[in-house]
Amino acid sequence: MLTRSRISWTALLLPLTAAIILVVAICSALYLREADQIEGNMLDREQRRMEIFAGLFAGDINSAVTDLRLLATGDALQAYLFSGQPADLDRATRRALFFSTENSDFDKIRYLDEKGQEIIRINRNGVVVPPDQLQSKANRPFFQKPEELPSGQIFISAFDLNVEHGAIEQPLKPTLRIAMPVFDANGRRRGVYVINELGTNIVERLQKFAPQYQQRLRLLNAQGYWLKGARPEEEWGFMLPGRSGMTLANTNPGLWARIVREPEGQAPEGGGYFTWCRVVPGEIVQGRPVTLVADDPFLVFASEISPAEWASSFARLRQTFVVVAALLLVLATVITWFFQARRRSQRDLDRFFTLTNDLFCIAGFDGYFKRINPAWEKTFGYTREELLAKPFEDFLHPDDLEKTRQEFARQNRGQGVVSFENRYRCKDGSYRWLLWNAHPQVEDQLVYASARDLTERKQIEEQVLKLNAELKQRADLLEVANQELESFSYSVSHDLRAPLRHIHGFVELLQKAPALQGDESSRRQMGIIAKAAKEMGRLIDDLLAFSRTGRAEMHPVQINMREMVDQIILDRALECQGRRVTWEIKPLSTVPGDPNLLRLVWTNLLDNALKYTRRREEAKIEIGEIRDDSGTGVREMVFYVRDNGVGFDLRYAAKLFGVFQRLHRAEDFEGTGIGLANVQRIIHRHGGRVWAEAQIDAGATFYFSLPLTAFQPTELHG
């Protein structure tokens, strides 16, 4: 599975560059090969074409020669030569006419007599020139030269422009003249027969071979002048004024030199390609009853592929290859990216495989580890070789052997396992617990597994169990202690009181005894005993109550504090008779708490307030509450009891809530000193706090807070 993490571009860069280079190299090589191929083909074709053109030209000449011979040696002319009769002339003319109409290449067909006078002249396309327009051509080379030729030799003039009346005929008429001497039956020279071949036709016919030859076809003569050039302005330089320099010899001497040297060939020329094939007119017809004598040593048939054309023929190929290269590059990039991603994810996996503290492994169905991560060595202390060398069974705890075998057999059948535990032996002989997840790949005969070292957890579990057992033991002991305390308290409450009661009771009885009625001092002493017994009783009661407040179960309910306080005050109404007591009771909320215990608290605080204000003319006792609005929501309620009694010295405030601690003398104010300790204990069990403020002789305020959230009642022992 490929990760979706970003592949770093640098990681991509190197293989990508390599890919690019490879693709470019291959494509270039292929391109060059193809280009070479195309080039080769093109050039081959050009070469062949030129040869064909040369051949065609030769064919044209040949056929013209044949026609000429027919006319020159034909019986029509011979008859006229013999008789000189106009009827024979007519016939000969008609024969010539026939050829003219048959061949539109024949610009002129003429018979000139031995003086060079035109006797027969047929102009192009069968136009017979009447006798009054016939001219003398005695001074023309096409008469003079063949005049001297022996029989069997035919003259081909140079390929040039026709001259009429001493001027170059316009429009330009490229012409090739083929002429042969005429002999009569007696072997006497009787003049020259001439055919003017129209060069344009020849050239046009060649051009029609393929559309590209419209532009490509070239014709040069032996001096390098263009007979058919790239542009008409370059042609016929040897005849037209101002063009004498327009030869290939001038423009491309190197190429011309080659052309002169080699009868055929190809050469790159100015970005394009030049293909040529020389034709030697004189050798067109060879080894037959006639030979040609040509003015032109040779003619060059050529194809000039312009640079643009040359380029464009590769353009298509180039385009194709560019597209192919682009596609390949894209492909290469994608493949590279995939490979990198793959490698990256592989690397990621490898890293995790190596890094993890969990134990990863691949095991064969044969019972051996095939591949393990370093965690194995770290955990167990063996080297990798040791672990791979033996079947993994060898490392198992003997007790786990059977169940592991069974589990493994299940794996071999194709079932995975989750949360299987067993023990493996470390190098040092100790065992560690492992928790396995495993999954088999049946086709590969392998099991892929991951294990976690449970040993710590097992140890912790053991510890926890042990601690729990200890805790239970302690709890049991505690329970026993509690029970003992219960019976102790019971004892105290019951058994201690009885003797006290007796002491008190009998002393009282004694006091009433008639015999002692006059004895003041004895009665006083007995009074002291009685009081002492009463005091002790009170102490015991208070102690018992104090102990009970620590042990009693708390039953939290919502308590209307106002009601509770009202009730207590009502109960004290009797006591307050004869005193001026002003109760100022502010509104009090309803809070959760144990009603019995909290009643004790209020009772204690109110009794104290009453007690310590006894000396006041008017006792003012204020009861109220303070909300704790500290912004985090109301979480506790603070209640207070404020009196205008004797107060106490704040320096000794720490003792206030101590057991049996008092800040006043017993003869001033009675009390055992346990009340406030009780209050503190109860409030603490509710999760609240107690504190007090006072000034000597200026009264005291006692505060206690109760949390408003559901509290967790705690048991305080002791």
Partner 1 sequence: MAKIKRILLAEDNPNDVELTLAALHECRLSNEVEVVRDGAEALDYIYQRETYAGRGDGLPCVILLDLKMPRVDGLEVLRQIKSDPDLRHIPVVMLTSSREEKDLIMSYDLGVNAFVVKPVDFEQFLKAIRALGMFWAIVNEPPPFKNKT
Residues that bind partner 1 (CB under 8 A): 489-490, 493-495, 497-498, 500-502, 504-509, 530, 533-534, 536-538, 544, 552
Q: Which of helix, strand or coil describes residue 134?
A: coil
Shortest reach from residue 510's CB to partner 1, in Å? 10
Peptide bond into 595 cis (omega under 30): no
For partner 1, the closer of residues 507 and 598 by Cβ is 507
Mention every residue, 6+ apart, whose C-beta is less than 8 A from residue 468: none
Shortest reach from residue 599's CB to partner 1, in Å? 15
For partner 1, the closer of residues 163 and 513 by Cβ is 513
Dist CA 129 CA 119 (whole Å): 10
Shortest reach from residue 399's CB to partner 1, in Å? 53
Shortest reach from residue 358's CB to partner 1, in Å? 59
Shortest reach from residue 574's CB to partner 1, in Å? 15
Which DSSP letter does residue 76 get? H
CA triplet 535, 539, 540: central angle to 5 degrees?
A: 120
CA triplet 486, 489, 490: central angle to 5 degrees?
A: 85
Shortest reach from residue 526's CB to partner 1, in Å? 12
Shortest reach from residue 493's CB to partner 1, in Å? 5
Shortest reach from residue 508's CB to partner 1, in Å? 4
For partner 1, the closer of residues 61 and 533 by Cβ is 533
Shortest reach from residue 529's CB to partner 1, in Å? 12
For partner 1, the closer of residues 205 and 534 by Cβ is 534
For partner 1, the closer of residues 464 and 716 by Cβ is 716
Q: Where are the beta strands (DSSP E) in 572-698?
A: 580-585, 590-593, 618-627, 636-643, 690-695
Dist CA 670 CA 189 (whole Å): 187
For partner 1, the closer of residues 89 and 507 by Cβ is 507
Dist CA 112 CA 135 (whole Å): 9
Report the length, in residues, of the chain. Answer: 718
For partner 1, the closer of residues 413 and 512 by Cβ is 512
For partner 1, the closer of residues 13 and 513 by Cβ is 513
Shortest reach from residue 533's CB to partner 1, in Å? 6
Dist CA 394 CA 406 (whole Å): 15
How far, in Å, are 374, 435, 453 from residue 383 at the CA level? 9, 21, 18
For partner 1, the closer of residues 489 and 661 by Cβ is 489
**Parallel/antiparallel/unpaired status of strands 189-198 and 359-364:** unpaired
Dist CA 408 CA 412 (whole Å): 6
For partner 1, the closer of residues 437 and 489 by Cβ is 489
Shortest reach from residue 497's CB to partner 1, in Å? 4
60 membership: H or E segment, kind and range: helix 9-73
Q: What is the DSSP string of 404-432?
A: HHHHHHHHHTT--EEEEEEEEE-TTS-EE
- Residue written as token pair 């009340």: 675
**Parallel/antiparallel/unpaired status of strands 580-585 and 618-627:** parallel
How far, in Å, are 220, 251, 263, 269, 300 from residue 258 at the CA level? 14, 13, 9, 12, 12
Shortest reach from residue 535's CB to partner 1, in Å? 9
Number of H helices and E strands in the chain, helices first, is 19, 27
Mention every residue, 6+ apart, whose C-beta is less than 8 A from residue 324: 27
> What own/partner pairs with CB < 8 Å and gap ≥ 24 does 707-714 have?
707/635, 707/636, 708/591, 708/592, 708/634, 708/635, 708/636, 708/637, 709/635, 710/556, 710/592, 711/556, 711/592, 711/686, 711/687, 712/687, 713/553, 713/554, 713/556, 713/594, 713/685, 713/686, 714/685, 714/687
Sign of CA pseudo-dihedral 696, 697, 701, 702: positive
Which DSSP letter does residue 496 get? I
Strand partners, 177: 196
Shortest reach from residue 523's CB to partner 1, in Å? 15
Shortest reach from residue 527's CB to partner 1, in Å? 12
- Residue written as token pair 């890919």: 19
For partner 1, the closer of residues 275 and 547 by Cβ is 547
* Residue pair 634/708 in contact by the 8 Å Cβ criterion: yes
Shortest reach from residue 662's CB to partner 1, in Å? 21
**Parallel/antiparallel/unpaired status of strands 291-294 and 153-156:** parallel
Shortest reach from residue 521's CB to partner 1, in Å? 21
Sign of CA pseudo-dihedral 160, 166, 168, 169: negative
Sign of CA pseudo-dihedral 96, 101, 105, 108: positive
For partner 1, the closer of residues 309 and 535 by Cβ is 535
For partner 1, the closer of residues 149 and 529 by Cβ is 529
Shortest reach from residue 475's CB to partner 1, in Å? 22
For partner 1, the closer of residues 198 and 598 by Cβ is 598
Interhelix angle for 455-491 vs 520-551, to 10°?
A: 160
For partner 1, the closer of residues 340 and 678 by Cβ is 678
For partner 1, the closer of residues 1 and 498 by Cβ is 498
For partner 1, the closer of residues 397 and 534 by Cβ is 534
Dist CA 535 CA 500 (whole Å): 10
Q: What is the dihedral of CA 654, 657, 661, 666, to 10 degrees?
A: 110
